[in-house]
Structure 1
Amino acid sequence: MTLEPGTADIIQLAWARRLGLDDAAFTAARESGERITRADESARAVQFVRLFGSSALVGPQWALDAAVGIPDEDMAQHVTLLTITRNHGGHGLGAAALFFADDLPLLQPSEELTVSHGNPEAVELEGLCPPDDVNEVGLSDLEHRFTIMHREDGRTVPVACGAYTEWEGILAHMGVLVAPGWRRRGLGSLAASIAAHEALASGLTLQWRADVSNKGSLATARSLGFATGGIQTSVLLD
């Protein structure tokens, strides 16, 4: 699906605030064609974000200086940030594709579902999943959780969770986690659809972030109807 006119501006506003920039920073960058930079000497990470053709780099001044002259296409590569931060212990995080939606088709389940809004069910689901998946999704950081439950062997167990948290009162930053034994059954898309429509009903624009190497998450975003909006590349500093 395509975004409505003006949605990109709303998304860039949310990210400008998230990165500590002026509200009009991305608009000015679009007009000038120049990269936005903000020096933050207390930053524990260096972040490069490219949204709808405009880019921003936030980190200590030495990182901004090291990035001068490096094209955005290269800055979007995780290896580039690792290289320029090598002497400052740059490590971890990576490159993530950013997807957005201001409307989505509503997926209908093939059978009646039980959906929990509770935290214990989401925590139990995390215990069923590999740590790498748990860390990437970060359900514990997502305030609104919608966990699909399934009854088996006389007890009800969590099988998938779609969740979101508000960014700057504008974006619904989403995440989806599915128990390993229940994957490839459409439950991730269904859980995401439930959370997405709750967020849309609250007047939020949807954001989906997926590691560029996570083919499953990338495919889910596209199948749901999210539109590609940019990339976020980050490294942690010692």
Structure 2
Amino acid sequence: MANDPLVVRARGLWRELASAPVAFGAEGDVSVVAAPASRLGPPGWVGVVVLGGAAVVTAPTEEAAARVREALAGLAAGELADPAVLTSMLPIGRVLGPAALAYVSEAAFRPADPGGLSVEQLPAGHPELTALERSAGAADADEAGLDEITSPAFAVRLDGRIAAAAGYRRWPARTAHLAVLTAPGRRGRGLARVAGSEAVRHALAQDLLPQWRARVPASRRVANALGFTDLGTQLSAEPA
């Protein structure tokens, strides 16, 4: 798996986000590094990314990295995707995640059949996108991240209102971080798949690597339907 082109590109992204010299080792390996500027989690937190069977862990200081390295010694990379394992080994407060990291190549992409739905393009930050986020509530809107996209938004309208929309934020290493949101009461009808399909198509046309990060099973199912493959996990933990 380590030689899979998707894994290679995804690992390149997260190495860059680690903001410190670190590499994914062989399958099962856990590499821990001090990285005060790490973007694997909020500032000052421990960040964990498992990709292709190997893990990279960042800690805010050299002292913290030494403690983490000692605590996690002997653990396999896959075990770090379980928050219960981390909290049993380290003094940890809050945990964000785990979130599945999924990616798709142009060859594996399975565009959604719109089934008579039309998809319109809106600029990022359009007032109707803000209205969609308000209708979804703060928790779902934050999870989707539609307010952070740098691409156009691809929206499905029902009864005159935007029912679902998708786009992506341009991340380092030529990565397109997908954002998809569906209005409450409109879910389960395939709208996210139709809107997300157009966002993925746009990203691939720009030669970007589409990344779908999701904690919610329904979101993961949409990604899988579009051809995405789960390659790893991300989570972060606040030192107690």
TM bracket, shorter-chain basis = 0.7 to 0.9
Instruction: Give the match for residue 111 of structure 2.
Output: 106
What does 1:180-191 align with in structure 2 at a 5 Å threshold? 180-191=184-195
C-alpha distance after superposition, 1:140-196 (max 9, x if no partner): 2232241425263xxx42211112112213211112110012111111001110111
CA contact (8 A) 1:49 1:230 kept: yes
The whole-number CA distance in structure 1 between the counterparts of 2:80 and 2:156 is: 42
Q: Which amino acid aligns with 2:135?
A: L
**CA 1:102–1:21 in 2, change beyond 3 Å: closer, same or farther?**
farther
Q: Which residue of 2 aligns with 1:30?
A: 26
How far apart are the structure 2 equivalents of 1:82 and 1:140? Answer: 32
1:142 equivalent in alignment to 2:149: yes
What residue in structure 1 maps to residue 50 of structure 2? 50
- C-alpha root-mean-square deviation of aligned residues, in Å? 2.5
**Residues of 1 paired with 2:226 and 2:119: CA distance?**
19
Offset, 1:69: 2.6
Listed one character per residue, the Cα deviations across residues 1-26 of structure 1 (whole Å, up to 9, x for unaligned) are x9x95332122111111112447x22
1:91-125 superposed Cα distances (whole Å, 9 cap, x missing partner)? 04121111110121222421333332241222111
The TM-score with structure 1 as length reference comes to 0.84
Structure 1 unaligned blocks of 5 or more: none
Moved more, 108-117 or 163-172: 108-117
Q: CA deviation at 1:228?
A: 1.6
- CA 147–159 in structure 1, closer or farther in 2 if over 3 Å, else same: farther
Letter in 1 for 2:174: I
Gaps of 5+ in 2: 38-42
Secondary structure of 2:8's aligned partner:
helix
Tell me the CA shift for residue 53 of structure 1.
Answer: 1.7
Higher relative contact order (CA 8 A, sep 6+): 1
In 1, Cα distance between equivalents of 2:8 and 2:95: 30
Q: Per-residue deviation at 1:136?
A: 1.3
**Is contact 1:98-1:229 (8 Å) kept?**
yes
Give the conservation status (yes or no) of the 8 Å contact 1:47–1:233.
Answer: yes
After TM superposition, the structure 1 stretch with the greater mean CA deviation from structure 2, 114-123 or 50-59, is 114-123
Deviates further, 114-123 or 178-187: 114-123
The equivalent residue for 2:76 is 71
CA–CA separation in structure 1 for the residues paired with 2:148 and 2:20: 23
Matched, 1:232 2:227: no
1:127–1:97 Cα change, 3 Å: same
Q: How many matched pairs? A: 225
2:131 counterpart (121, 124, 127):
124
Counterpart-to-counterpart distance in 2, 1:141 and 1:165: 6
CA contact (8 A) 1:128 1:180 kept: yes
CA gap of 1:52–1:125, structure 2 versus 1, over 3 A, is same
1:198-233 per-residue CA deviation (whole Å, 9 max, x = no partner) reads 11111111111111xx22011111111101211112
Structure 2 counterpart of 1:82: 87
The Cα of 1:77 is off from its aligned counterpart by 0.6
Give the fraction of aligned pairs with identical amino acids, expressed as a percent.
Answer: 28
Residues in 1 aligned to 2:78 and 2:118: alpha-carbon distance in whole angstroms? 46
Structure-1 separation of matches of 2:36 and 2:6? 32
